[in-house]
C-alpha cells in the first residue's frame, strides 16, 4: 500500500490529533468557549480525563478544545475525525459516507 498523507501521526495517534487540533483552534493557548477567558484557565490532568479538559476559573466550568465543533459530543476518536475531515477536504467532489467508511477502516 502506498504511503499517503494519512500516514501522518495526527491521523493515527489520539494525543497527536489533540495537539494538532489545539494548535489550530487555540494558537495562543486555551480559551474559555463561554466567557472568552484566556488567563484564568488551567488544564485538568486527571487520570480519568480522556480528552485534555481545561477549566475556566471565571465561570467555573470545564471545557475541551472540541466545544462548538462537530466533534464535541462525538464518541469517535479525534484522529479518525481528522482522517475524515482530511478526506472530505482533499476530494474535489466531496465524499460519500460509504466511501469514507471504506477509506478510513
Ligand atoms: Zn469562562
| pLDDT given at position 50 | 60
Question: How many CB atoms sit inside 10 A of residue 3's CB?
Answer: 6
CA of 42 to the centre of ligand 1 (A): 11
| pLDDT given at position 48 | 60
Question: Do 55 and 61 touch, CB atoms closer than 8 A?
Answer: yes
Bigger pLDDT: 45 or 50?
A: 45
What 8-state DSSP symbol labels residue 72?
T
| pLDDT given at position 51 | 66
- How many contiguous H segments (helices) and E segments (strands) does the chain have? 3, 3
Segment 64-81 mean pLDDT: 89
CA of 31 to the centre of ligand 1 (A): 8
At residue 1 the predicted structure's pLDDT band, cuts being 50, 70 and 90, is: very low
| pLDDT given at position 3 | 58
At residue 104 the predicted structure's pLDDT band, cuts being 50, 70 and 90, is: low
CA of 30 to the centre of ligand 1 (A): 11
Spatial CA neighbour of 41 closest among 26, 16, 60, 18:
60
Spatial CA neighbour of 72 closest among 53, 48, 90, 44:
53
Spatial CA neighbour of 41 closest among 56, 22, 63:
56
70 vs 75: CA distance, rounded Å: 11
pTM, two decimal places: 0.76
Give the three-state DSSP class for 61: strand
57 vs 89: CA distance, rounded Å: 37
Amino acid at each position: 500500500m502506498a504511503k499517503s498523507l494519512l500516514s501522518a501521526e495526527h491521523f493515527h495517534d489520539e494525543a497527536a490529533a489533540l495537539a494538532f487540533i489545539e494548535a489550530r483552534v487555540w494558537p495562543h493557548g486555551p480559551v474559555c468557549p463561554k466567557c472568552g477567558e484566556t488567563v484564568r484557565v488551567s488544564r485538568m490532568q486527571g487520570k480519568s480525563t480522556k480528552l485534555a479538559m481545561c477549566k475556566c476559573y471565571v465561570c467555573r466550568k470545564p471545557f475541551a478544545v472540541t466545544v462548538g465543533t462537530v466533534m464535541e459530543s462525538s464518541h469517535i476518536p479525534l484522529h479518525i475525525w481528522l482522517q475524515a475531515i482530511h478526506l472530505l477536504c482533499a476530494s474535489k467532489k466531496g465524499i460519500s459516507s460509504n466511501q469514507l467508511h471504506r477509506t478510513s477502516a
